[in-house]
Amino acid sequence: MAIGRVRRTSHLLLALACLAAPVRASAAEWFVAPGATGTGAGRTPFGHIQDAINAALPGDTITVRAGTYAESLRTVRDGRAALPIRLRASGARGSVTVNAPGRVLSVNHAYITVEGLVFDGQYGNSDTVAVATAGSHLTLRNVEVRRSSRDLIDLAGPQGVTIEDSLVHHALNAADGRTDAHGIVAGPVHDFVIRNTEIHTFSGDGVQLDPGRSAPGWSRVTLEGDRIWLAPLPAAENGFAAGTVPGENAVDTKAAVGFPRAEMTIADVTAWGFRGGLIGNMAAFNLKEYVDVTVDRVTVFDSEIAFRLRGPTPSGGGAWVAIKNAVVHDVATAFRYEDGIGNLRIWNSTLGRAVARPFQAASSTSDGLDVRNLLILGAARPAEAGHASNLAVGAEVFIDAAAGNYALVPGATPVDAGVLLTQVTTDRNGVPRPQGRAYDVGAYESVPSVGGMVPGEHHALPGARQALQR
């Protein structure tokens, strides 16, 4: 009798466990097609993306077939680290468009991956994509987010979010002449990555952190391989006249002193078009408040100010900034340093053609600057570049300065003329430093040509930008 009772009890516990935590043999795939009326199977797809989101469990994939869907989507449950819920377009980016006048996607749950969809906010008065603090470990991959009168992607305070291989454009608000509408804005995020993404045409900033200076502060933010730009609008758009340059900065930082210093890395990013706008002191990179930012392999051109670098405010703080392997050309001011900034390092960078003013002090002395191995296309070094490792040179030392190629001609004066900087171990192409007996001056370390290839880079001409606008 006792053995029978034990067996019956074991069977009952097993049945209850199965009811509490159902286990599927494999993840499911749900299908969506415009105008369909089915139950989500391949031959009988749902007609609405939200129906598939409602059905999907951790590990499931939602495949959306080509077409336009007039919906406002919202997540309903978490995925898991090894089993994210995946929402994807069946074809290339642009084959699936989801539109709504305002909010198009709300992410309120963790471990969600979205791939290949276009989210069009139709210039509605809401953020196009909103990510709540609970929306941690979101991946937006190869998506397009466009047309908002607010922010295109707005993150509260999630962790581990990645936006990659995407296009974010047209956040425009003409109220009061110009009102902030950002490409991507984030609050107290951590481990946030924006990679290989193009951000353009906004009336605020391309990327802004953290306008609310919210607890517990933000940190470990990485921008890598991105292109952030503005250009005069080719036609009237959402209240702005044709020819207007509506925005402010490519990147703008805000961080409260009461939290740990916010850490940010900006690597291999190109920014242009930050001039002729509706604000004064228009800068590609506006780095300020309680931040510690490393800028590596960045290019800035066609702008009023390349780097606006700001020291302590009345509440304290002040940015710590290290800039290395940068190339700057065609700007009014390369480095504007303000408010007694106390920790600004400019190393192994190149100022090319049409830099009207390499440095500009604004309520600041140069005491907080460390400028070494800076290469300047010009007749003389400015006072801020007085260290012997900084050089003023002619265009003949570069492969092709007129075309934006600032790699060094072998044997040119800057080769082996720099000083050792242990914090700069490679050049902007990843070449280890030094290649000769000493560091080269500037952003490039000279190496022999291989197979007839010429080292360096060429930048797109300004006239090519219009083709990038959507």
In the DSSP assignment, the letter for residue 318 is -
Please say if the pLDDT value at position 233 is more than 60: yes
- Peptide bond between residue 246 and the one before it cis (omega within 30 degrees of 0): no
How far apart, in Å, are the Cα atoms of 79 and each of 85, 99, 149, 447? 5, 24, 31, 48
In the DSSP assignment, the letter for residue 426 is B
How far apart, in Å, are the Cα atoms of 73 and each of 18, 23, 81, 157, 429? 31, 27, 22, 20, 42
Give tens-digit pLDDT for 354-399.
Answer: 999 999 999 999 999 999 999 999 999 999 999 999 999 999 999 9
| Nearest one of 226, 233, 230 to 298, comparing CA atoms | 226
Q: Rounded to two decimals, what is the model's pTM?
A: 0.92
Given a contact cutoff of 8 angstroms between Cβ atoms, the answer to whether 292 and 265 are in contact is no
The CA angle 431-434-437, to the nearest 5 degrees, is 150
pLDDT of residue 14: 35
How far is 305 from 260, CA to CA, in rounded Å?
Answer: 28
234 or 464, higher pLDDT = 234
Only one residue has tokens 């006239």, namely 463
Give the residue-averaged pLDDT of 315-332.
95
Please say if the pLDDT value at position 6 is more than 70: no
Query: What are the structure tokens assigned to 246, written together?
Result: 């509506």
Give tens-digit pLDDT for 89-129.
Answer: 999 999 999 999 999 999 999 999 999 999 999 999 999 99
Query: What are the structure tokens assigned to 104, written together?
Result: 């198009």
pLDDT of residue 9: 43
How far is 275 from 271, CA to CA, in rounded Å?
Answer: 11
pLDDT of residue 31: 98
pLDDT of residue 313: 82
How far is 3 from 211, CA to CA, in rounded Å?
Answer: 67
Phi, psi of 125 (to 5 degrees): -90, 55
Give tens-digit pLDDT for 387-431.
Answer: 999 999 999 999 999 999 999 999 999 999 999 999 999 999 999
Bridge partners for 310 per DSSP: 338
Query: What are the structure tokens assigned to 17, written together?
Result: 């466990």
Handedness of CA 389, 390, 396, 397 (dihedral sign): positive
